[in-house]
Structure 1
Amino acid sequence: MGWMKWRGGVAVAVAVTALLLAGAQAIAAKADDPPARRAPGKVTFHKAPSEESPAARERRLKRECKGRPNAGACLGFASR
């Protein structure tokens, strides 16, 4: 019957210990984080000298898509 008196106290002690351990783990995790990095710079794409111009692409698609279904890459070029 004596252990019944201590059962509530033991439950409180276990709960407090769990909270303290969780707090200690959170502090340890923050200490292990690497320093903040800068945001990467803006990416710029350079056009290749062999890249076709928009006008050349339109002429090519108009030529290649004659008589084809108006879908996919030929969408808008098949009926021209």
Structure 2
Amino acid sequence: MSVHTRTRPMRVALILLVLATAGLAQAAQASKARTGQKAASGSVRFIDAPSSESPAAREKRLRRECQGRVNAGACLGHTR
């Protein structure tokens, strides 16, 4: 047996593996397109909930709640 005859099955298996991997990647991309998913971008945007308090409302609440408490944690700077 020559060297080429012995390595042929390995080459065929390698080619099939590469083609299968490319096919899986293409199928995953097509499935994302069908479901309407967008590709992940590099930035993250946080949307405030409608029930979140404004900074002014938070300041007012902390002044009211922190009267007479230890000047630490959330009350730091609000215990006058």
TM-score when normalising by structure 2: 0.52
Q: Once superposed, which parts of structure 1, at least 4 consecutive aligned residues long, lie more than 4 Å away?
A: 36-39, 42-48
RMSD (CA atoms): 3.3
Q: CA deviation at 1:38?
A: 4.4
User: Aligned in 2, Cα 1:45/1:59: closer, same or farther, shift over 3 Å?
Assistant: closer
| Aligned residues between the structures | 69
Aligned to 1:3: none
Aligned to 2:77: 76
Aligned to 2:60: 59
User: Aligned in 2, Cα 1:20/1:61: closer, same or farther, shift over 3 Å?
Assistant: same
CA displacement 1:57-77 (0-9 Å, x = unmatched): 323312221222222321221
Give the Cα separation in 1 of the matches to 2:53 and 2:14: 65
Aligned match for 2:16, one of 18, 21, 33? 21
Bigger radius of gyration? 1
Gaps in structure 1 of 5+ consecutive residues: 1-5
Give percent identity, aligned residues only. Answer: 38
Give the Cα separation in 2 of the matches to 1:63 and 1:26: 62
Give the Cα separation in 1 of the matches to 2:12 and 2:66: 74
TM-score when normalising by structure 1: 0.52
